[in-house]
Chain A
């Protein structure tokens, strides 16, 4: 059962416009959320994160919004650039680390963003 869902497999946006990528989760024990960006033939790279005690976190052109009551988060990219074209994964962590101290990430299925020049 997918605990983190990205219901849009793809998104196309004109260069300079806003890209909005959405993510929903079902497990109320998640309290830290991350976005990763992945180019073909490379590993995912960390982009931005947010704790559940916040509703917004901003880093340059990237802003993540969290609506905890709706179990929904979104990533906004403004302005979008052709180099932003990649697959974006939403991921979540549980409130308490496991007994081993490791943090097991739960990933969504990804959204492929294409920014058209």
Chain B
């Protein structure tokens, strides 16, 4: 158990509304990631963080922003949700930046945009 929690676990929202998803870790790891999982695509990286206030884009970052003001929390924001952002969102952490380092995942947030 890597001590990762995500909130909320489920959310239904309407198109055009802002949404923020939270990832919280208890083990002080430097690297945190946000992925989305969609049928036919597997998991795709949205954004990641390599330290407090240090973030970078992933493969599918359009329409998303992130913030990390403290080590334990990594927030994913949809500024204006669209139906194409209906997905399951997973947060992950890795314990260091070494090449052979596994990532450990949270339980996921299921987001539905109507």
Bound-complex Cα distance A109 to B37 (A): 9
Q: Which residues of A contact B103 (CB under 8 A)?
A: 46, 103, 105
Number of residues from B at the complex interface, CB < 8 A: 32
A49-B102 in contact given A107-B44, A110-B42 (Cβ < 8 Å): yes
Chain A residue, CB-CB nearest to B31:
A102
Q: Does A117 contact B (CB under 8 A)?
A: no
Q: Which residues of B contact A89 (CB under 8 A)?
A: 42-43
How many of chain A's residues touch chain B, expressed as a range?
20 to 34
Query: Hey, which bits of chain A sit against chain B, CB under 8 A?
Result: 2, 4, 6, 31-32, 34, 36, 41-46, 49, 51, 89, 91, 93, 95-98, 100-105, 107-110
Q: Which residues of A contact B30 (CB under 8 A)?
A: 101
B85-114 to A contact mask, C-beta < 8 Å, 1/0: 000001010100111111111111000000
Interface of chain B residues 44 through 63 with chain A (CB within 8 A): 44-45, 48, 50, 54, 56, 58-59
A101-B100 in contact given A43-B90, A89-B43, A108-B42 (Cβ < 8 Å): no
Q: Which residues of A contact B31 (CB under 8 A)?
A: 101-103
